[in-house]
């Protein structure tokens, strides 16, 4: 048995009737992989004591680390805590620090503590407690011989906070033996298979201790190099040399040398250049603005946005010409450029992004089928516009258009 193998158990009837998609497993798997752990398998079971215990037994037969999410809420359908007590032959005891954590949390939210909430402060006697910074259910950490079982809440952001701040660091301290380094570069302008063909010889010649993963998402492919070694500086050197080779092959198709979000990349460029931005959105319906403002501190460079779904708002709020609108239609180069320039003028920014298209599923014509999106980025000196043809799925079209707009903006900022 390898020392760094993990099994993930997600608990909840809602998963097994298909009411929710289990995104916790994927999130945890990705983070664990990045930290050098290997996920052996994932299992989803009902809120049922026998099933939970069986899954736990099977997992501990195979791996050293078992991570559990779900079923530790205050209500009757949540069985995990009681099942863990039975499993570890212990009992629930009152924990004052957990209670205090709940008191603080509720005070912030102006909520009253009731009996059921108070029950959250009862925890298995033999478990280490990690406070939940975003909810009432504490994280329970159990040691069993050389093995570790951790039970977390199923609420995604509570789980993610605990994993990032507490659980991953503790697991790394306890289980990591060799050095693991990940390097991510981000590429655009290639399909996954075209990129794979382009770098095939290089990929085949990678040293044994370096693995490559392709992580495609919308128009972008992340290439992740993961190296394992006994020693950090030599590994760092080897990885950097491999990335130099990639740079020679791919040139300007590489737009980032770290695993950073597109909106953070844009944020850094705009901040560095002391430039302000606005958006004028039609088909993206505010999503570009939402992505920009997801970054803390975005008010330094983001001034505002106009989502002009209706044509007369394109005229009144963005100064689009009524005649042009009638003749060329909203989904046209003329209009998207007027929207971008209008936003720059009316919202008084250095740069503006505009989108106008047919997100679908209906509203397409032969000439302008669903998925047709015009995007324009305008600065004082230059306005660039491009027509994209995406697919038929509304939310994917909105995401793709936003990604494409960010890539166009970035190109204009890095020259």
277-306 positions binding a copy of itself, by CB under 8 A: 279, 281, 284-290, 292-294, 296-299, 302-306
- Using the minimum distance from each CB to a copy of itself, give the nearer residue, 224 or 384: 224
Q: What is the DSSP letter of 163?
A: I
Rg of the chain, C-alpha, whole Å: 26
C-alpha–C-alpha distance, residues 223 and 203, integer Å: 11
Residue pair 151/81 in contact (Cβ under 8 Å)? The answer is yes
For position 19 contacting a copy of itself by CB under 8 A, the verdict is: yes
Q: Are 311 and 330 in contact (CB under 8 A)?
A: yes
Report, in Å, the least distance between residue 415 CB and a copy of itself: 26
CA distance 255 to 384: 19
Interface segment toward a copy of itself; rule CB under 8 A; list 73-81, 140-148, 229-237, 243-251: 73-81
Binding to a copy of itself by residue 202, rule CB under 8 A? no
194-202, 228-236, 240-248, 249-257 -> range binding a copy of itself (CB under 8 A): 194-202
- Helix H or strand E encompassing 113: none
Q: To the nearest whole angstrom, how small is the minimum distance from the Cβ of residue 117 to a copy of itself?
A: 5
Asked if 396 is part of the footprint of a copy of itself (rule: CB under 8 A), the reply reads yes
What are the structure tokens assigned to 105, written together?
């949390």
36 or 124: CB nearest a copy of itself? 36
Query: Can you list the positions of beta strands (E) in 230-290?
Result: 254-256, 277-281
Nearest to 67 by CA among 8, 145, 24, 143: 8
Q: Is 129 in the site for a copy of itself (CB under 8 A)?
A: no
Residue 255 or 346 with smaller CB distance to a copy of itself: 346
Residue 65 binds to a copy of itself (criterion: CB under 8 A): no
Minimum Å gap between C-beta 172 and a copy of itself is 17
CA dist 271 and 292 (Å) reads: 13
Buried b (16+ CB within 10 A) or exposed e, 12-41: beebbeeeeebebbeebbeebbebbbebbe
Asked if 6 and 40 touch (Cβ cutoff 8 Å), the reply is yes
C-alpha distances (whole Å) from 86 to each of 42, 70, 72, 210, 276 are: 23, 17, 15, 43, 59
**What's the rounded Cα separation, in Å, for the pair 96 and 366?**
67
Beta bridge mates, 287: none
Quick one: 129 or 396, whose CB is closer to a copy of itself? Answer: 396
**Minimum CB separation from a copy of itself for residue 143, in Å?**
25
Torsions phi, psi for 4 (to 5 deg): -115, 30
If the CB atoms of residues 112 and 323 are measured against a copy of itself, the closer one turns out to be 112
Query: What's the longest Cα–Cα distance across the chain?
Result: 78
Q: How many residues does the chain have?
A: 415
Selected binder of a copy of itself within 4, 35, 51, 63 (CB under 8 A): 51
Q: Which residues in 332-351 contact a copy of itself (CB under 8 A)? A: 346-348
Q: What part of residues 76-105 is at the interface with a copy of itself (CB under 8 A)?
A: 76-77
Q: Smaller CB distance to a copy of itself: residue 76 or 380?
A: 76
Interface with a copy of itself in residues 220-259 (CB under 8 A): 224, 226, 259
Give the up-direction half-sphere exposure of residue 35: CA atoms within 13 A in the CB hemisphere: 23
360 binds a copy of itself (CB under 8 A): yes
Tokens of 52: 């939970």
Residue 14 as a binder of a copy of itself (CB under 8 A): the answer is yes
For position 192 contacting a copy of itself by CB under 8 A, the verdict is yes
Minimum CB–partner distance for residue 406 and a copy of itself (Å): 14
- The mark string for 137-176 relative to a copy of itself (x by CB under 8 A, - otherwise) is ------------------x-x---x---------------
Q: Which of 4, 35, 36, 42 binds a copy of itself (CB under 8 A)?
A: 42
Total binding residues toward a copy of itself, as defined by CB under 8 A: 114
């Amino acid at each position: 048995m390898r020392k760094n193998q993990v099994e993930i158990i997600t608990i909840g009837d809602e998963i097994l009737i298909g009411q929710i998609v289990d995104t916790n497993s994927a999130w945890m798997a990705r983070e664990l992989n990045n930290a050098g752990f290997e996920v052996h398998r994932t299992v989803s079971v009902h809120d049922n004591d026998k099933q939970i215990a069986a899954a736990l037994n099977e997992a501990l037969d195979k791996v050293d680390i078992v991570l559990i999410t779900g079923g530790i809420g205050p209500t009757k359908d949540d069985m995990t805590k009681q099942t863990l007590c039975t499993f570890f032959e212990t009992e629930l005891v009152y924990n004052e620090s957990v209670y205090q954590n709940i008191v603080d949390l509720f005070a912030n939210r102006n909520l009253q503590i009731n009996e059921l909430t108070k029950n959250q402060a009862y925890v298995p006697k033999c478990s280490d407690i990690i406070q939940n910074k975003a909810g009432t259910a504490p994280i329970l950490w159990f040691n069993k011989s050389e093995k570790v079982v951790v039970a977390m809440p199923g609420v995604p952001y509570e789980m993610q906070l605990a994993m990032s701040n507490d659980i991953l660091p503790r697991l790394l301290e306890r289980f990591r033996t060799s050095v693991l380094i990940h390097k991510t570069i981000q590429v655009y302008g290639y399909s996954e298979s075209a990129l794979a063909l382009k770098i095939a010889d290089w990929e085949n010649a990678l040293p044994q201790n370096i693995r490559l993963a392709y992580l495609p998402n919308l128009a972008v492919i992340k290439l992740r190099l993961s190296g394992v070694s006994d020693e950090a500086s030599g590994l760092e050197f080897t990885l950097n040399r491999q990335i130099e080779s990639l740079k020679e092959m791919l040139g300007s198709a590489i737009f980032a040398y770290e695993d950073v979000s597109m909106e953070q990349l844009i944020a850094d460029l705009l901040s560095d250049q002391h430039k302000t931005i606005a958006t004028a959105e039609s088909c993206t319906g505010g999503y570009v603005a939402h992505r920009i403002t997801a970054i803390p501190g975005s008010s330094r460079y983001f001034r505002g946005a106009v989502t002009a779904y209706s044509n007369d708002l394109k005229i009144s709020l963005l100064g689009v010409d009524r005649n042009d609108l009638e003749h060329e239609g909203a989904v046209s180069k003329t209009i998207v450029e007027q929207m971008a320039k209008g936003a720059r003028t009316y919202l008084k920014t250095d740069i503006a992004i505009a989108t106008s298209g047919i997100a679908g599923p209906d509203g397409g014509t032969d000439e302008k089928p669903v998925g047709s999106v015009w995007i324009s980025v305008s600065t004082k000196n230059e306005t660039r516009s491009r027509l994209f043809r995406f697919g038929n799925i509304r939310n994917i079209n909105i995401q793709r258009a936003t990604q494409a707009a960010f890539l166009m903006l970035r190109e204009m900022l890095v020259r």
